[in-house]
């Protein structure tokens, strides 16, 4: 706190708490010593309360974290990506740098680009998300669908998407081979992009089951998995992930309000405004702690993909359940 702030605090106390000797002396009544004692105690408590409030106010004002908009929705990042280098966490990668020396993060940071994923690809992925989530969906504000492990939000729980469509043949055509082709193509482009900018072999990056589509609305959270607005570190939640990517499938300010992505740095918050087709990728450790603002209107869609250097955590390829029907001609059989 500055000296000016301290002086101002003292002036506030003297003006509103009447703690100086001149003001107190006017309150003294020699005929009523008991009332005088009570009054002094009350005034002392008032002065203390005012001092505490003033200190909290000025401390809060001096420690406000500044916001830096790293990428706005009105920008078009078609050249080199916007990049921020950050110091790697000293703890999150120590063991894996020994186990996977050519893949585990040696330098850390975050990137934003609008030129990796095309508008056509983004719109196709948005269609996949909407069709898949239409078969379930959370009762609360956040729903997810994972193509690799088949996890689908359903009311307040999760179900296996693939078992669901196998048990209901009329829903088996919700996805097509083209859908999986687009998803696979985009995933490979993202993998190569991460590899290029972090200097690791693309062949050693494996997509994990933490990858899923998300849909966020203004409904209140119904379980702990829907409380998306808390600060967190990806690697602390999903230990196998070394790199994370996010593809936005809707646009801030047009499709929804608030819901921005915020990196929580020590001196300033680096904020990214989602935009259809925008790709964000970053190292998954403590150096990139972040949160999402709560969505206040509309619907926010995104595709998050986690990548690990450990082949043990490689996710299975998405598949389409095919129902085979044999029709018997009555005259021949």
Bridge partners, 303 (sequence order): 213, 247
Using CA of residue 188, residue 191, residue 196, residue 197, what is the dihedral sign?
positive
Per residue, what are the HEC states of 151-163?
Answer: EEEEECEEEEHHH
Instruction: Report strand pairing: 137-138 vs 151-155.
Output: parallel
CA distances from 333 to 107, 302, 327, 330 (A): 69, 52, 10, 5
Nearest to 197 by CA among 118, 113, 276: 113
Chain position carrying tokens 């919700």: 174
- How many other C-beta atoms can be found within 10 angstroms of the C-beta atom of residue 118? 14
300 is catalytic: yes
Strand partners, 236: none
Q: Which residues are catalytic?
A: 300
């Amino acid at each position: 706190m500055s000296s000016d702030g301290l002086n101002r605090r003292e002036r506030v106390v003297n003006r509103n708490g009447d703690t100086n000797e001149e003001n107190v002396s006017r309150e003294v009544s020699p005929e009523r010593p008991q009332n005088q004692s009570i009054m002094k105690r009350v005034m002392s408590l008032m002065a203390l309360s005012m001092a505490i409030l003033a200190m909290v106010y000025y401390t809060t004002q001096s420690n406000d974290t500044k916001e830096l908009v790293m990428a706005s929705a009105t920008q078009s990042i078609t050249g080199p990506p916007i990049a921020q280098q950050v110091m790697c966490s000293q703890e999150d990668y120590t063991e894996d740098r020994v186990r996977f020396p050519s893949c585990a993060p040696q330098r850390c940071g975050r990137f934003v680009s609008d030129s990796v994923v095309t508008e056509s690809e983004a719109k196709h992925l948005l269609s996949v998300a909407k069709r898949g989530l239409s078969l379930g969906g959370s009762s609360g504000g956040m729903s997810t669908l994972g193509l690799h492990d088949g996890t689908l939000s359903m009311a307040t729980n999760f179900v296996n998407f693939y078992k669901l469509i196998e048990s209901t043949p009329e829903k088996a055509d919700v996805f097509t081979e083209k859908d999986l082709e687009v998803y696979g193509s985009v995933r490979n482009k993202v993998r190569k992009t991460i590899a290029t900018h972090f200097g690791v072999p693309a062949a050693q990056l494996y997509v994990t089951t933490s990858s899923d589509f998300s849909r966020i609305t203004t409904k209140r959270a119904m379980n702990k998995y829907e409380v998306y607005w808390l600060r967190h570190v990806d690697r602390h939640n999903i230990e196998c992930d070394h790199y994370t990517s996010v593809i936005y499938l809707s646009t801030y300010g047009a499709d929804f309000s608030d819901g921005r992505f915020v990196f929580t740095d020590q001196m300033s918050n680096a904020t990214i405004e989602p935009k259809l087709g925008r790709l964000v990728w970053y190292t998954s450790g403590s150096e990139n702690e972040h949160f999402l603002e709560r969505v206040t209107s509309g619907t926010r869609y995104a595709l998050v993909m986690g990548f690990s250097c450990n082949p043990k955590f490689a996710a299975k390829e998405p598949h389409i359940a095919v129902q085979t029907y044999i029709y018997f001609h009555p005259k021949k059989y």
